[in-house]
Each structure stands twice: as structure tokens, then as C-alpha cells.
Amino acid sequence: GENVEQHPSTLSVQEGDSAVIKCTYSDSASNYFPWYKQELGKRPQLIIDIRSNVGEKKDQRIAVTLNKTAKHFSLHITETQPEDSAVYFCAASTTGTASKLTFGTGTRLQVTL
């Protein structure tokens, strides 16, 4: 089955700096890659996703890149703010439609003033 690895496990940046979180996946059939943000004690919330037919997607301060050949995808947050502090999870899905997500182990992002 699919295996998703995520790095780093913790990341501390100063407010205004950029943060990058990287994931790798094992199943070449995976074609849907969402990113979720989870604040302490809260539900995971989708912040951005990408499908395998594109290499990059942006939404304001957030961007995701995908390298299908290398089976890598990354989350980029620019101009970080204290409210960006949370745990971020990457995930991969094999069919992209009503299919289970395999999650990474998470990255705890701390944005300091």
C-alpha cells in the first residue's frame, strides 16, 4: 500500500519568514495530494490540494509543488504569521475520487515573533 513520509517533524521560523514542508510517497498510482492544517484539539482543515496533472498550485501565501517523477510534493508558506502555527499533514490518495487518504506523520510549525 501507499506510504507517505513527511519532514521535518518540527519547524520553527520567525514571523515573516518562509516555511517549507516536504513529503514523499511510494505509490506511483497516487494522483491527489491534499494538505491539512490541524490546530491543537481541532479537526484537520484542508488548506490546499494538488492533482497529478499540474506541477504547482498557489493560493495567496500558500503554494504546493509536485514532482511526479521523484514522487515528492512540498508545501510552501510565505510571509508566515503567528496564526500559521499548527500541525500540518500531507496526504496522498490512489484514485482521487472517494478514496482513502494516507497521511504523513505531521510537521509542527511554530512561528515566533
Partner 1 sequence: GAGVSQTPSNKVTEKGKYVELRCDPISGHTALYWYRQSLGQGPEFLIYFQGTGAADDSGLPNDRFFAVRPEGSVSTLKIQRTERGDSAVYLCASSGGRGSTDTQYFGPGTRLTVL
Interface contacts to partner 1, rule CB under 8 A: 6, 32, 34, 36, 42-46, 49, 51, 89, 91, 93, 96-106
**DSSP structure string for 14-51:** ETTS-EEEEEEE--TT--EEEEEEE-TTS--EEEEEEE
* Smallest separation (angstroms) from partner 1 to the CB of 79: 25
Question: Nearer to partner 1 by C-beta: 98 or 113?
Answer: 98
**From the DSSP assignment, how many helices (H) and strands (E) are in the chain?**
0, 11
Q: Which amino acid is at 27?
A: D
* Smallest separation (angstroms) from partner 1 to the CB of 56: 18
* Smallest separation (angstroms) from partner 1 to the CB of 93: 7
